[in-house]
Amino acid sequence: MDFQLGPDIAAFREEVRAFIAEVVTPELREKILRSGTSFDWDVHRQMAERGWLRDDWPAEHGGAGRSPFRVLALQEELELAGGPTFGIFYARALANCIRGAGSPAQKADLIPKLLGGKIILCLGYSEPSCGSDVAAARTRAVREGDAWVINGQKMWTTMAEHASHVFLLTRTNTEVAKHRGLTMFVVPIDTPGIEIHEVKTLGGERTNITYYSDVRVPDSARVGEVDGGWSVMINALRDERPGGGRGHSDRMLLNAVRALAEREGGRIDDPGSLEKLGRIAVQNEVARLIGYSAVARFAQQRHDGVTGPMFKLFSSENMLRNSGVLLDLLGPEALLHDGSEVCEGAGAIEEAWRHSHVGTIYAGSSEVQRDIIAQRGLDLPRSR
């Protein structure tokens, strides 16, 4: 038993830090804050060209079968630096979806482009009337000869403004149980009939609502079986690397300590403040260990489907609570934010606090995570 990530990951981290020092400039930080999307094509392509998006993938997809902790380290370092983090997730998660259920033609076309940083895909799961209950999707796909005609709306299609395709969950059968009548498509985003409307959020991120009006796609755009969309989605979620690291929570703590120490002459001595900082440091360490253990189990192909949800639940709830605690510690100055300036020190806490409200909602709300932990981890009866 050991808890070390080892010299290879340490060396890789150094490489990533050098890269970040070069590319994550104040101008890029400002662009990320202004656009509301933690993504930059130039940085994304450079990471892909270095093989960083796929080096834990098998060789048949251009990977090198390396440790999944490499991409975790990359994500952590980007988070710590406030660099662009969305691209890694969207490229890898969607490539994974295609790998799991795509046709040979889809795999050959989309996976190399996704992992090579040429294109990005977005997710069309949630709808105005369903989020956590994603199997209740109403967006209709109706077969017409060799084509499908799609009508409906999708919420939270983040990254749609950069994406080449949307990975779209549709209803193809209304006569069966809700999760048995779903079909997945990968739809070019420039198909006539698709409209993207910006949605602004409390956290400053840009997301979208996307509208689909008589969108016509060939049957070759279908991913998996007709009415088999639920298993496509579940398998993609299951195979996606669970867990995570320490980046966001430690960045927030570090920024708060910078601001407090500066105010108090270089060193924080107030025991009341120190106690709170100590609690947060401990919680960050615990979150990191739960996240790492989920990845370690995944790397050993012993993915239990419980530790990942534990990390999601624990880390997002911590961010929400601790960003508030840190704002309180910092006092009135922490209220100030300047949209045109890079938010460092106190300003970053205010940003983190606004953002943290969505962490406990997206990618499965805390309630959904607790259901999973209770049923799969503790073997408690199904509850609603």
Task: Decide the pairing of beta strands 121-124 and 165-171.
Answer: parallel
Min separation Cβ 295 and other proteins, Å? 8
Interface of this chain with other proteins, residues 52 to 91, rule: CB under 8 A: 69, 80
DSSP string of 41-104? HHHHHHHHHTTTTTTTS-GGGT-----THHHHHHHHHHHHHT---HHHHHHHHHHHHHHHH--H
Interface of this chain with other proteins, residues 338 to 367, rule: CB under 8 A: 367
Residue 287 within binding range of other proteins, rule CB under 8 A = yes
- Give the angle 81-164-132 at the CA atoms, nearest 5°: 70
Spell out the residues 6+ positions from residue 144 whose beta carbon is closer than 8 angstroms to its own.
216
Three-state DSSP at 315 gives helix
Spell out the residues 6+ positions from residue 63 whose beta carbon is closer than 8 angstroms to its own.
51, 54, 55, 56, 57, 115
Min separation Cβ 292 and other proteins, Å? 6
Selected binder of other proteins within 297, 320, 323, 355 (CB under 8 A) = 297
How many residues line the site for other proteins (CB under 8 A)? 60
Count of Cβ atoms closer than 10 Å to residue 9 Cβ: 16
CA distance 48 to 215: 32
Min separation Cβ 248 and other proteins, Å? 12
**How large is the angle between the packed helices 86-101 and 104-115, nearest 10 degrees?**
160
Min separation Cβ 133 and other proteins, Å? 14
Structure token pair of residue 28: 């890029």
Residue 8 within binding range of other proteins, rule CB under 8 A = no
Min separation Cβ 99 and other proteins, Å? 25
Interface of this chain with other proteins, residues 263 to 282, rule: CB under 8 A: 266-269, 271, 273-279, 281-282
Q: Which stretch binds other proteins (CB under 8 A): 56-64, 89-97, 210-218, 308-316?
A: 308-316
Interface of this chain with other proteins, residues 227 to 266, rule: CB under 8 A: 246, 250, 253-254, 257-258, 261, 266
Binding site for other proteins (CB under 8 A): 1-6, 69, 80, 246, 250, 253-254, 257-258, 261, 266-269, 271, 273-279, 281-283, 285-287, 289-290, 292-293, 295-297, 300, 307, 310, 313-314, 367, 369-371, 373-375, 377-384
